[in-house]
Structure 1
């Protein structure tokens, strides 16, 4: 018997889909405002604007290179003193009696300088990161950190995510999350639990932290970043809960920037990687797939080699390592990794992964 939907059922179904969409933040987000900042200023005077513009450009370089210490680069200091050269536009805003200078820097000019100085460039297509945290205090004992209980802390983390250009998400910690990620598993940094609990959020990366108060003014934290089938453990110490939490997110941003940054010093070692994409059943899919690959900062060219039915074969020229390129491709949810069963001849030889005989295989969804 065919299923029919009355207007009321259809409305309920639509609302359910909307709720599911809100519960599953998009991964691999394109960060649109990396080149825009707001700086508090005491006046509209030229001197104050010059100082604020230099500070603003430094913040942009941190976001775009992924390097928290980039301002110490000796060749960058003169450019920060002449930051006005890179300004595309500015305006003043007031909020609670505080004057702010909103600055928009020219993305192409900034990127050209990064290339000229051979600095790393972290492309704006960045991994959505889901953050789970547990706390153990001297007074309250051990518990899961929830936004409603620590609004100031989570506000600081949101601000840091904006400064680093790292898209962060936090679990809602409803009954579903509590069942899939019980406190014991979170404190043990159980990667299996993280995988199960992350299904509803579909993150590209997961960051788990256990934050321990060791004395009245001493805190320590153990962090685990899970991404791309690999795990990175690191520690943080500080004088407050906020300090060790911010240090954890900062280090996660450092790790991800290191993984995805494009370095102009590598341009002399560019190589070709062959990619096969199945499931290209329309011109729209063809256009979306080729446009995505051609737009990647890690790819200098993406040439169509052949089209066979629903299969598209492309040759990508990239100076990134093969694993880095695979990590970048994995950020697009439309690309699903397929099998890598390269042809093996009678001698047992398997063609290198990414070659014409053994391409990187994906399916388009």
Structure 2
């Protein structure tokens, strides 16, 4: 049904309300704990707490920027020296005779520093990644890596994923998974099989790894990251299965950060991109759609231009490339791409995507 007359009457009041609400994407994960760190300490003393706070803030900057080497940036050195200024709260815990300092840093203060220092900011709305792995050892040959067989390895992968702020999932490898992703397809890194096998998990991205033991002390791995209609292949070498597996997840996080991180300033020039969303049939739909777009870190403003029936038109101001903006929008499964039917004149000219004549078209589900 089209938007009702009553809805039109309250539309002017809804803009303020929508700006105050944050609609979470139904697909990508919003990670609330990027600013929480646990550090092992020798004592509750002031010196040990200060040292742990410096280390902890450095780890937070790795998560927030997506740059695993950010702590080596000279611009960050003065900030880390004053790390205690940015602590929101802390408490101590102990586990098996080890004392831990649990720190929570102020998200707004950290994000403000990222902007001031002109560092990349990887928003906490991040792609959930499904990881399939196969292993080939000198002793046992080739097999699929399962959590129940390698609990320590999967624990390490969960740990590095938390360090990088990359949400990971692993297939349960039941009969359904084994049928949809047989070992041969996994070793061949068959993208079609990955798509079929991933239907039950609905991941934003798929990471496939084949880990090969070449000698008693050497391992190599080939990785394939599939996301947003693109594939990224990369390799890893190391002295253990764990090392090449961790390097694969680390590099996947690097690729995701490169794709989604936003810099506060740079050569990018802000421009307006028009987006048209069909299927907005209620105030709830309207509120969720506008709030989601207005809450994106990659978008500096999202202005409603028109409401026609169930069709909503907005102007998004952004400095990221159009392709990257479409990647960001694809993280919300409520936004389904519609046909690109921009006007074409007799000479074959099609209006630029994102223009008034050829907006990015989506339907809301």
Unaligned runs of 5+ in 2: 1-25
Matches within 5 A, 1:312-323: 312-323=312-323
Could you say if the C-alpha distance between residues 208 and 57 of structure 1 is closer, same or farther in structure 2, counting changes exceeding 3 Å?
Answer: same
Distance of 2:60 and 2:235 partners within structure 1: 27
TM-score, normalising length: structure 1? 0.92
8 Å CA contact 1:135, 1:143 repeated in 2:
yes
Q: Secondary structure at the match of 2:93?
A: strand
Residue 300 (structure 2) aligns with = 300
Distance of 2:109 and 2:243 partners within structure 1: 34
Superposed displacement of residue 95, structure 1: 1.5
Superposed displacement of residue 99, structure 1: 1.0
8 Å CA contact 2:90, 2:103 repeated in 1:
yes
Distance of 1:248 and 1:266 partners within structure 2: 30
Unaligned runs of 5+ in 1: 1-25
Residue 21 (structure 2) aligns with = none
Residue 12 (structure 2) aligns with = none
**1:318-364 CA-partner distances (Å, limit 9, x unpaired):** 11111111000000011111111111112221100001110000000
8 Å CA contact 1:28, 1:127 repeated in 2:
yes
Q: Secondary structure at the match of 2:209?
A: strand
Does residue 228 (structure 1) correspond to residue 223 (structure 2)? The answer is: no
Q: Secondary structure at the match of 1:280?
A: coil
Superposed displacement of residue 197, structure 1: 0.6
Distance of 2:224 and 2:349 partners within structure 1: 38
Q: Secondary structure at the match of 1:184?
A: helix
Residue 172 (structure 2) aligns with = 172
**1:151-198 CA-partner distances (Å, limit 9, x unpaired):** 000000011111110000001111111111110010000111111111
8 Å CA contact 1:266, 1:319 repeated in 2:
no
Q: Secondary structure at the match of 1:76?
A: helix
Q: Structure 1 stretches (4+) deviating beyond 4 angstroms?
A: none
Matches within 5 A, 1:1-365: 27-266=27-266, 269-365=269-365
Q: Secondary structure at the match of 1:112?
A: helix
CA root-mean-square deviation: 0.9
The aligned length equals 340
TM-score, normalising length: structure 2? 0.92
Distance of 1:47 and 1:123 partners within structure 2: 33
Q: Which structure is higher in RCO with an 8 Å CA cutoff and minimum separation 6?
A: 2
